[in-house]
Amino acid sequence: MYQCTTHAIRITVKPAFLEEQSHPERGYYVWAYTITIENQSGDVVTLKSRYWRITDSKGKVQEVRGEGVVGEQPTLKPGESFEYTSGAPLTTPSGFMVGSYQMETAKGQAINVDIPPFSLDSPYAQKQVH
Protein backbone atom coordinates (compact mmCIF):
# COMPACT_ATOMS: atom_id res chain seq x y z
CA MET A 1 0.00 0.00 0.00
CA TYR A 2 1.24 3.47 -0.89
CA GLN A 3 -0.04 6.70 0.62
CA CYS A 4 0.52 10.47 0.59
CA THR A 5 -1.41 13.59 1.58
CA THR A 6 -1.46 16.93 -0.29
CA HIS A 7 -3.70 19.88 0.68
CA ALA A 8 -5.37 17.57 3.26
CA ILE A 9 -6.43 15.15 0.50
CA ARG A 10 -5.11 11.64 1.27
CA ILE A 11 -4.44 9.29 -1.64
CA THR A 12 -3.99 5.57 -0.96
CA VAL A 13 -2.95 3.14 -3.72
CA LYS A 14 -3.10 -0.67 -3.66
CA PRO A 15 -1.64 -2.25 -6.83
CA ALA A 16 -2.16 -5.92 -7.74
CA PHE A 17 -0.71 -8.01 -10.56
CA LEU A 18 -3.40 -9.67 -12.70
CA GLU A 19 -2.00 -13.08 -13.65
CA GLU A 20 -5.18 -14.15 -15.49
CA GLN A 21 -5.06 -11.14 -17.85
CA SER A 22 -1.29 -11.24 -18.42
CA HIS A 23 0.54 -13.15 -21.14
CA PRO A 24 4.25 -13.20 -20.21
CA GLU A 25 5.10 -15.34 -23.26
CA ARG A 26 3.91 -12.40 -25.40
CA GLY A 27 5.43 -9.66 -23.23
CA TYR A 28 2.08 -8.48 -21.88
CA TYR A 29 1.65 -7.82 -18.15
CA VAL A 30 -1.42 -6.28 -16.50
CA TRP A 31 -1.96 -4.67 -13.10
CA ALA A 32 -5.03 -3.34 -11.34
CA TYR A 33 -4.73 -0.53 -8.84
CA THR A 34 -7.32 0.57 -6.34
CA ILE A 35 -7.20 4.19 -5.27
CA THR A 36 -8.95 5.76 -2.31
CA ILE A 37 -9.25 9.55 -2.25
CA GLU A 38 -10.08 10.91 1.21
CA ASN A 39 -11.02 14.54 1.76
CA GLN A 40 -9.54 15.45 5.14
CA SER A 41 -9.82 19.18 4.43
CA GLY A 42 -12.54 21.58 5.49
CA ASP A 43 -13.47 22.32 1.85
CA VAL A 44 -15.66 20.58 -0.70
CA VAL A 45 -13.44 19.42 -3.59
CA THR A 46 -14.14 18.07 -7.07
CA LEU A 47 -11.69 15.93 -9.02
CA LYS A 48 -11.48 17.53 -12.47
CA SER A 49 -8.67 15.64 -14.22
CA ARG A 50 -5.77 13.24 -13.80
CA TYR A 51 -2.18 12.90 -14.97
CA TRP A 52 -0.15 9.68 -14.97
CA ARG A 53 3.50 9.01 -15.71
CA ILE A 54 3.99 5.27 -16.28
CA THR A 55 7.53 3.91 -16.60
CA ASP A 56 8.36 0.34 -17.54
CA SER A 57 11.48 -1.53 -16.42
CA LYS A 58 13.31 -0.53 -19.63
CA GLY A 59 12.75 3.15 -18.85
CA LYS A 60 10.06 3.72 -21.49
CA VAL A 61 7.71 6.47 -20.28
CA GLN A 62 4.04 6.88 -21.11
CA GLU A 63 2.11 9.97 -20.06
CA VAL A 64 -1.66 9.88 -19.73
CA ARG A 65 -3.96 12.85 -19.14
CA GLY A 66 -7.72 12.86 -18.99
CA GLU A 67 -10.88 14.17 -17.39
CA GLY A 68 -11.95 12.65 -14.10
CA VAL A 69 -11.39 9.01 -13.18
CA VAL A 70 -13.30 5.96 -14.49
CA GLY A 71 -15.73 8.29 -16.26
CA GLU A 72 -16.53 10.32 -13.12
CA GLN A 73 -15.60 13.67 -11.62
CA PRO A 74 -16.39 12.95 -7.97
CA THR A 75 -17.19 15.76 -5.53
CA LEU A 76 -16.14 15.08 -1.95
CA LYS A 77 -17.41 16.92 1.10
CA PRO A 78 -15.14 17.15 4.15
CA GLY A 79 -14.70 13.66 5.59
CA GLU A 80 -15.94 11.85 2.46
CA SER A 81 -13.95 9.43 0.35
CA PHE A 82 -14.13 7.95 -3.15
CA GLU A 83 -12.64 4.63 -4.23
CA TYR A 84 -12.12 3.26 -7.72
CA THR A 85 -10.15 0.55 -9.49
CA SER A 86 -8.42 0.90 -12.83
CA GLY A 87 -5.65 -0.91 -14.66
CA ALA A 88 -2.38 -0.57 -16.50
CA PRO A 89 -0.71 -2.90 -19.02
CA LEU A 90 3.04 -2.97 -19.62
CA THR A 91 5.31 -4.84 -22.03
CA THR A 92 7.79 -5.52 -19.21
CA PRO A 93 7.31 -7.56 -16.01
CA SER A 94 7.70 -4.52 -13.76
CA GLY A 95 7.52 -0.75 -13.69
CA PHE A 96 6.10 2.09 -11.67
CA MET A 97 3.49 4.82 -11.82
CA VAL A 98 3.21 8.29 -10.33
CA GLY A 99 0.76 11.07 -10.99
CA SER A 100 -1.52 13.81 -9.77
CA TYR A 101 -5.14 14.85 -9.66
CA GLN A 102 -6.22 18.33 -10.58
CA MET A 103 -9.00 19.29 -8.17
CA GLU A 104 -11.09 22.37 -7.54
CA THR A 105 -12.55 23.64 -4.30
CA ALA A 106 -16.14 24.87 -4.04
CA LYS A 107 -14.67 28.41 -4.08
CA GLY A 108 -13.10 27.75 -7.50
CA GLN A 109 -9.51 27.37 -6.30
CA ALA A 110 -7.49 24.87 -8.36
CA ILE A 111 -5.30 22.48 -6.38
CA ASN A 112 -2.87 19.80 -7.49
CA VAL A 113 -2.97 16.60 -5.40
CA ASP A 114 -0.06 14.15 -5.64
CA ILE A 115 -0.56 10.45 -6.27
CA PRO A 116 2.32 8.62 -4.57
CA PRO A 117 4.76 6.67 -6.74
CA PHE A 118 3.95 2.97 -6.65
CA SER A 119 5.63 -0.07 -8.13
CA LEU A 120 4.12 -2.56 -10.51
CA ASP A 121 5.80 -5.87 -9.71
CA SER A 122 5.03 -9.28 -11.13
CA PRO A 123 6.41 -12.71 -10.27
CA TYR A 124 8.18 -12.58 -13.67
CA ALA A 125 10.37 -9.62 -12.73
CA GLN A 126 14.01 -10.50 -12.16
CA LYS A 127 15.07 -9.87 -8.59
CA GLN A 128 18.55 -8.58 -7.84
CA VAL A 129 20.33 -8.73 -4.53
CA HIS A 130 23.00 -6.08 -3.93
All domains of the chain in start order, with CATH: 2-118 (2.60.40.1470)
Q: For 53-80, how does the pLDDT look when each residue is reduced to its tens digit (9 = 90+)?
A: 999 999 999 999 999 999 999 999 999 9
Give this prediction's pTM: 0.92
Q: How many residues are given for the chain? A: 130
Mean pLDDT score of the chain, rounded to an integer? 95
Nearest residue to 17 (alpha-carbon basis) of 128, 127, 122:
122
Measure the CA–CA gap between 38 and 2, rounded to whole angstroms: 14
